Structure 1
Amino acid sequence: MSTQDAAPEVGPRGEPLAAGMIEPTGAAASELATPASTRGELFGASRRAPTIGVLLLVSMVAFEAMGVGTAMPALVASLGGLSLYAWPFVAFMAAGVLGTVLGGRWCDLVGPRLPLMLAPALFTAGLLTAGSASGMPQLLVGRTLQGLGAGSVTVAIYVLVGQMYPERVRPAMFGLMSSAWVLPSLIGPPISGVVTERFSWRWVFFGLVPVAVLALALVVPAMRRLTPPDQARTPKRRGLVVAAFGAAAGVSALSWAGEKPNLTAAVVAVVALVVLVPAIHRLLPPGVFRARRGIPTVVACRGLCAALFFTSTSYLPLILTRTHHWSLAAAGTPLVVGSLGWSVTSWWQGRHPDLPRPQLLRLGFCLLAGGAAALLLVAPQWGVPWLALPVWAAAGVGMGLCFPSVGFLLLRQSAPGEVGFHTSAAQMCDQLGTAFMISAGGALLAVLGTPATALPVLLAVLAALGVLGALIAPRAATPS
């Protein structure tokens, strides 16, 4: 496919092009003006390497996020830091928030080229540091580097998709990215467990280094085809760095409080919210909490669906093991079914690029709301535990509709110089919403005592979030 050295403001069909996006000419422009083979667009000669590289980067971050939890008991026992068990998770999440905000701003100013080269290198340095740790301080340094790299690279990937892939094939690309995240959630924990038991927890970190190197080798050559953004068109945003540190501190405090449901944790959670409020004011587009039409509603929808799905996923195994006495392996089955539903639906929606995304988003929220509400028939002592399987399969389908649709709408409505900011805002809503709702679940458990009494209250709140998402989803359409 032939390209030009610089991208104009509009493409062959009149659509706005993100800064640095390569505009096809001649036969290539004609090809984009008519329905084309999605597979050819993603894996043709001009995009095969960056597509595979992006999927490897997403899988790398996802596997590390899902696998470390399985290895953590052995890791902490080896390093003798049981009292600091939660801090490797907190360090990763706090650094991830910081990396998300700073990476988004960096991409808006200089484009995704440097972030996509340096963020994986930072993540790899974190893998090596954590894998060679001789004590908890070194492990925390490694987890911090991983979080910074993971947060930055995730935003940079979205910006790259906006600049390198035509709008028509973006749903398919987001579907592949969803699958690249979901599949490690299926295989990550068992592989991590086997590696830890038969070899060492250190290989949970070291084993991903070759993946990072290969991903970089595939993505970096494609970066030469991107032109830097016009900084004159990038809005000035003051106070982002201070707000990013405030958000990182607030999210880490919420995460810590969620793992320790007691009075002290409740006080910490309140202080965290006090810190987060002014930070959020700087880090999110105006109108998110009023569901203003366009980008603010898209960002809000990302936070709502993530909070609903991931919070439910966190507490569903507790319901099945503590209330219904299922084994840990059996309790993980609904999560596997939900992940498969997410992956298959993401693939399906990518094959139908002409479907209206706000409607898919609304349908996805209906399925998520119905899933959370139906779990009210599972959570109590009198509940029917096997219902969790079909219910969470339907919720996975809902996520497969919601997540790729949010990514597509985010890129479609973002002006040049704002893709990084909007992407980091969506990720922030994801992280904050999930941390807040998980902490709320911990507080309910502390007050009401047992999962059978506390978690139905949480599920009712989560179902209400799904209803809210379904109501505001039509406002995610492009403003007229």
Structure 2
Amino acid sequence: MSQSRQTVRPLVIAAVMASMAMVAIEATIVSTAMPQIATQLGGLNLYSWVFSSFLLTQTALTVVFGKLSDIFGRKPAVLTGIVIFLIGSVLAGFAWSMPAMIVFRLIQGVGAGAILPVALTVVGDLYPARERGKVQGYLASVWAVSAVLGPMVGGLLIRQFSWAWIFWINVPIGILAAALFVFFLHEEKRHDRPAIDLGGAFLFTAAVASLMMALTDAGHASNVRVGVELAVLLLSCVLFVWQERRAADPMISFSLWSHRPIAASNAATVLAGMAMMGLTTFLPMYVQGVMHRTPVEAGLALTMMMIGWPSGATFTSRTFTRIGLRRLLMIGPVFIPLGSVPFVLLGPESSPVWAGVGSAIVGFGMGITSVSCLILIQEIVQPLERGSATASNLFSRNLGNTLGAAVFGAVQNFGLTHTDGLPPVHADQLKALLTSVTGDFAANEDIRLVLHHSLHLTFTAMFVIALGAVVSMLFMPKIDLSRKRESVGAVGATDAANAAKNAANQAFH
């Protein structure tokens, strides 16, 4: 994007932070309110789909909107995302049943799939690499603050008003963000008539949606249903590859995604995302069910990750010009398996402080890795490919989260049914353990030991996958960013892009 003199960068960043805050806080605030929502609407068997539907459309359309922002511009793409997200939010507040809530969450996910990649691309367009790392630290803090405030705000809104307001609260925030984008973000008008790869967009969305549905249903739904979803996935992938090879301007550039630095970064992002999902899903369960600690203590142990993440992002922003971006790409992922070690060593008598330390270390590594990968990916492509490149990284993170939920869930279920000398533990028994009061702990001792065994296997698997993120970065080549940018596309760099290129080139070496 060519930056106009009318663009006011601080106010545009305020718009970026506001739009991202909507998506970030929605994840935690809905989790707080869903038990009450499900009680009122019924359909408890559809509970998980309220979350899965949002993630499904968000992941599937992240890449699509990243490409559309390269074609039509950042402002139209992000404004479209905000409008769609707000429509979904308003409708969700009026939901009359769980199926209706799931549909409206699907709409919200479409909006989120546009907001996040395009907002981060706007940052890449407006700021040279030396300044961008600091801005990424600010954006990381949005997620940390949202993780802390979300449950509190959700509880307050439900107590004082109704659960509908957890969705309607997005309306003023979204209107403010949209207004700031409209008045303070200015792009050069594009006079070309681009070819839109609608077939590729549809087939990619179908492939990702069927993959995520298969992962979500694995082990829960019938084998026939999962088989149909896998068949749709295979057919969509075959047709998608055929379509992209014949499209004039493909939705996904295979040469871009297979470019070795991008491929290495995205592979590490997938594995790091899997490890993060293992931590966020199963650490609270271990602290409460095995250590017999309160939900508050479990939440504090997990919250340490949200302190470590912005700390890692800030460290990266302040040091990558001195240390070098490539060194940080090698160092950052190491903290993820390092922080996973305390979880592998946890025992029933361990202190939750030990878990909090590991959580903070993992978060620190995630902060370094995410910011370093994003800066690198945005700097080795031409400006008109930056949206697609940024979206590929966010897609990898979301895919990692989904794969992590499926893989670690399977590992835990295996552990619950295969503990030597102890009978299998079922969902109702596990629920009884997690909701038991102090006096009931002794009666659940066998269940506690089985849960410890299963989660030990889960944390060990998390450690191994985190090591995979380190290995992925070993394939990161030494590159000259200036030469790479000249060879990727035919669009001339603007003054801002040149400044970013030169700064990042110095930092990378």
TM range (shorter): 0.7 to 0.9
Greater alpha carbon shift after TM alignment, 416-425 vs 45-54: 416-425
Following the alignment from structure 2 to structure 1, what is the Cα–Cα distance between the partners of residues 455 and 4?
51
Q: Given the superposition, is the C-alpha separation of residues 363 and 274 from structure 1 closer, same or farther in structure 2, using an over 3 Å criterion?
A: farther
Whether the aligned pair in 2 keeps the contact of 1:169 and 1:353 (CA below 8 Å) is: no
Say if 1:91 and 1:252, in contact at 8 Å, map to a contact too: no
Change over 3 Å in CA distance of 1:46–1:385 after alignment to 2: closer
Pair 273,292 (structure 1): closer, same or farther in 2 beyond 3 Å = farther
Q: How many angstroms apart in 2 are the aligned matches of 1:79 and 1:237?
A: 37
Q: Tell me which of 356, 377, 384 is aligned to 1:417.
A: 384
With 83-92 and 447-456 compared, the bigger mean Cα shift is at 447-456
What is the DSSP-based 3-state SS (H/G/I as helix, E as strand, rest coil) of the residue aligned with 2:86? helix
| SS of structure 2 residue aligned to 1:133 | coil
| CA–CA separation in structure 2 for the residues paired with 1:80 and 1:404 | 41
Identity %: 26
The aligned runs of 1:38-437 (5 Å cut-off) are 46-228=8-190, 239-257=200-218, 261-262=219-220, 264=221, 272=229, 275-276=232-233, 279=237, 286=254, 293-354=260-321, 355-378=323-346, 380-381=347-348, 383=350, 385-437=352-404
Q: CA deviation at 1:411?
A: 0.3
- Aligned partner letter, 1:398: G
- Aligned counterparts of 1:455 and 1:194: Cα–Cα separation in 2: 33
Residues 124 and 376 of structure 1: CA distance in aligned 2, closer, same or farther (over 3 Å): same
Cα distance, 1:392–1:223 mapped onto 2, change above 3 Å: same
Distance 1:200 1:288, change over 3 A: same
The one-letter code of the counterpart of 2:48 is A
Cα distance in 1 for residues equivalent to 2:30 and 2:380: 36
Q: 1:217 to 1:292 in 2, by over 3 A?
A: closer
Compute the TM-score of the two structures, normalised by the length of structure 2.
0.78
CA distance in 2, matches of 1:238, 1:448: 43
- Cα separation, partners in 2 of 1:106 and 1:346, compared to 1, 3 Å: same
C-alpha distance in structure 2 between counterparts of 1:107 and 1:173, whole Å: 21
On the 8 A contact 2:298/2:352 being kept in 1, the answer is no
Match of 2:95, SS state, is: coil
| Runs of 5+ unmatched residues, structure 2 | 242-250, 417-449, 481-509
User: 1:332 offset after TM fit, Å?
Assistant: 0.9
- Equivalent-residue separation in structure 1 for 2:19 and 2:160 (angstroms): 26
Distance 2:191 2:404 in 1: 37
Q: Find the aligned partners of 1:341 and 1:125 in 2 and give their Cα distance.
A: 34
1:439 to 406, 410, 415: 406
Deviations 1:276-326 (A, max 9, x none): 56649858765999x863111121122121111222111111111111111
Q: Aligned-pair distance for 1:429?
A: 1.7
Aligned residues: 435
Alignment CA distance shift 1:107-1:198 (3 Å) = same
The equivalent of 1:461 in structure 2 is 461
2:196 & 2:464 partners in 1: Cα distance? 35
Partner SS state of residue 225, structure 1: coil
- Post-superposition Cα deviations, 1:397-422, rounded to whole Å, max 9, x if no partner, equal 11111111111111011224322222
Paired residue secondary structure (1:417): helix
Q: Distance in 1 between matches of 2:272 and 2:131?
A: 23
SS in 2 for 1:403: helix
Q: Write the letter of the residue equivalent to 1:456.
A: H
Q: Deviations along 1:152-171, whole A, 9 cap, x unmatched?
A: 11111122122222222111
Distance 2:210 2:374 in 1: 27
Instruction: Using structure 1 for the length normalisation, give the TM-score.
Output: 0.82
- CA RMSD, 1 decimal: 2.9
Deviates more, 1:418-427 or 1:117-126: 418-427
Query: For structure 1, which runs of at least 5 residues remain unmatched after alignment?
Result: 1-19, 25-43
Call closer, same or farther: CA 1:139–1:57 in 2, change over 3 Å: same
Larger radius of gyration: 2
Tell me, in whole angstroms, the C-alpha distance in 1 between the residues paired with 2:31 and 2:335.
29
- Write the deviation string for residues 20-41 of structure 1: whole angstroms up to 9, x where unpaired: 23388xxxxxxxxxxxxxxxxx
Distance 1:478 1:226 in 2: 34
Structure 1, residues 206-240: CA drift from partner, whole Å, max 9, x if none? 112111111111122233234449677x9979623
State the match for 2:245 in structure 1. none
Equivalent residues of 1:299, 1:422 under 8 A apart: no
- Measure how far apart 1:333 and its partner are: 0.9
